[in-house]
Amino acid sequence: MSKRSSLVILSGGQDSATCLLWAIKEFGDDVHTLTFDYGQKHKIELECAEKLSKRFAKSHRLLPVSSLKDLAKNALTDDSIEIKKDGGFQGLPSTFVPGRNALFLNLAAAYAAPRGMRDLVIGTCETDYSGYPDCRKEFIDSMQKSLSLAMDFDFTIHTPLMFLSKGQTFKLASDLGGLKDVVENTHTCYQGNHKDLHSWGYGCGECPACELRRNGFEDYQRSLK
């Protein structure tokens, strides 16, 4: 285990929560979290991020980034936009927020560098990435190089879920001893349903995020047989 300070971009969802558990195992207990309030409709994920951070992180910072919702319309920040698998920028899912991960990584690097944090952790995934182009490894690699050059500070951007399916992500959370926390203390539902608790977590059970999460949990359960 490498004992050094690291920063996890924590949304409060399944993937970033699993990354937080991974970072603790990988880097020790000097793990910090950064959460962005970008005008998302469902503030429950911010509450989940804070709750998880109080349990597992050394420090937590909530940073407002309200301008994202003013730059482009999307279903995560605008109630008037229908949640569907297309209809967004360049035909991408309507839930795609243009520039979100690029901005988050830039701000995370600006926060991390003065504090000596060279390891940034983010839950992007190419396997089950819902068509978001800013979840691809090629993008992450380019950001690592650009941020290191921009700040003259050698960053490593870790993406432990990059090539994992949702089922494998559930397994990783289980292997790290945090499956219960991931199921009960995270939020991914696009409809903001945090009242109905299923075996796979809270959600409406019908939106694309819930469908992905439910199918992943079922895949995980089948792998145990």
> Burial of 1 by CB count in 10 Å (0-12 exposed, 13-18 middle, 19+ buried)?
exposed
| pTM for the predicted model, two decimal places | 0.93
pLDDT greater than 50 at residue 1: no
Q: What is the pLDDT of residues 143-179, one digit of tens each?
A: 999 999 999 999 999 999 999 999 999 999 999 999 9
Cα 103 from chain centre: 14
Which residues pair with residue 7 across a beta bridge?
Answer: 32, 120
Which residues pair with residue 8 across a beta bridge?
Answer: 33, 121
The CATH number fitting domain 6-176, selected from 3.30.1490.20, 3.40.50.620, 3.30.70.20, 3.40.1370.10: 3.40.50.620
Q: What is the pLDDT of residues 13-66, one digit of tens each?
A: 999 999 999 999 999 989 999 999 998 888 999 999 999 999 999 999 999 998
Domain layout of the chain by residue ranges: 6-176
Mean pLDDT of the chain: 91
Cα 10 from chain centre: 6
Cα 187 from chain centre: 10
Torsion of CA 135, 176, 157, 37, to 10 degrees: 60
Q: What is the pLDDT of residues 60-104, one digit of tens each?
A: 999 999 887 788 887 787 777 777 776 667 777 787 788 899 999
CB 32 within 8 A of CB 6: yes
Could you count the other beta carbons within 10 Å of the beta carbon of residue 74? 24
CB 30 within 8 A of CB 58: yes
> Burial of 17 by CB count in 10 Å (0-12 exposed, 13-18 middle, 19+ buried)?
buried
- Least confident stretch, 94-108, 128-142, 208-222: 128-142
What 169-174 contacts at long range (C-beta under 8 Å, 24+ apart), as own/partner pairs, is: 169/14, 169/15, 169/18, 169/125, 169/216, 170/14, 170/200, 170/216, 170/217, 170/219, 170/220, 171/220, 171/223, 172/18, 172/22, 173/14, 173/17, 173/18, 173/21, 174/220
